[in-house]
Amino acid sequence: MSNASVGTESLAAPTTAKAAKKLRVAFIGCGGISETHIAAMRRIPEFEIVAGCDIKPERLELMKTKHGITAGYERWDDMLREIKPDAVSVCTPNGVHAPATIAALNAGCHVITEKPMAMTPAECEAMIAAAKANGRKLVAGFQFRYHPTSQMLVRAREAGEFGQILFVKCQALRRRGIPNWGVFGQKDLQGGGPMIDIGVHVIEMAHYVMGAPRPVAASGNCWTYMGDKPSDVVSPWPNWDWKTYTVEDLAIGQIRFENGAIMQIESSFCAHIKENVFNFSMMGTKGGATWDPAMIHTDRAGTMINSTPNFLPKSDFGELFVHKLRNFAEGVLYDRPLEAPGEAGLAVQKILDGVYRAAAAGHEVAID
């Protein structure tokens, strides 16, 4: 059995057989993404939300008034000591993922941390070491590997339909979509721009579908030409904070894997393209595929065939969070295999880090 143990049945229906067990979970970071976590957890009987921590009092007040979570803290050490949760969901800006996660693991908590797992591979390694030292579960918050199409493509790979996967092209492109909230434009807090914020989604599911080969080298480039300037162009997310904008607008990268496969990555917050793109495609010796629309390309009966699924479960953004959080709860409570353990987060972080390092160096760099 491969890592892809979530089938269509588990994607289509919630688990109820062992709902008597409870996982007392607390939040570190009570901003926008925590709202999605809370909505998903309310649909999973195993979760009991017991506390929240945020440096902004207004976020703690919202947790209380909107969600009835009355135990609010501005310091996670105080929360971990007094509440003693079983698990922690880390929903902070990227730069806080590692210290918050390590503190929670050292306090005896299991942890799921939002994507990307951290700012650097070294931080990911420290997080994994803390999890092992404390005998706790650590999960990277990757949801798109739970998507029904991703799962279908994993099953196709396992069945040998692609042969040797040679090339994968990942695209997470916005024509004009610089976030005008949070700290997404500040490199010191986020680690980068579209590559680490939205490119990570397509990278994680494509790497998962490929069978998680080991990355060994990266090349790439990053450009900033619009986000650090004021704009009077009408767009869906206007008035971003261009004065503090220190990340890239567009990043292009190429990853070489140990098995010889190549992954190309395109990611943008703003680019002069026809429309937004969120997709990946792949080519193998026996077949290929696209993620959107879900399609497998192969030869059959002496004919070139494009196969589309007759049925796949629907799965919107909120549903994907239900799937990933259910897997986290069941991994902790029932020792079910984790679909995105810390090691998966480290592999993706090495890809992201490789592209950024190569862009800074101006040449291909090795990935350890």
Residue 16 clears pLDDT 50, i.e. is over it: no
SS3 state of residue 98: helix
* pLDDT tens-digit readout, 188-246: 999 999 999 999 999 999 999 999 999 999 999 999 999 999 999 999 999 999 999 99
Residue 10 clears pLDDT 90, i.e. is over it: no
Residue 6 clears pLDDT 50, i.e. is over it: no
Question: Which one, of 265, 244, 246, 225, lies nearest residue 358 by Cα?
Answer: 265
Domains and CATH numbers, the chain: 8-144+320-337 (3.40.50.720), 148-313+347-366 (3.30.360.10)
* pLDDT tens-digit readout, 60-114: 999 999 999 999 999 999 999 999 999 999 999 999 999 999 999 999 999 999 9
pLDDT on residue 299: 98
State the alpha helices, DSSP H only, in 90-147. 94-106, 121-134
Residue 147 clears pLDDT 80, i.e. is over it: yes
Are 40 and 49 within 8 A, CB to CB?
no
Residue 129 clears pLDDT 50, i.e. is over it: yes
State the alpha helices, DSSP H only, in 107-237. 121-134, 148-158, 187-190, 194, 200-210
Residue 361: both structure tokens together:
């160096």
- Strand order across the 250-257 sheet: 303-307, 295-300, 287-290, 277-284, 165-173, 262-268, 250-257, 215-223, 365-366
Are 297 and 308 within 8 A, CB to CB?
no
As a whole number, mean pLDDT of residues 327-339 equals 97
pTM of the model: 0.93
Residue 123: both structure tokens together:
């931080």
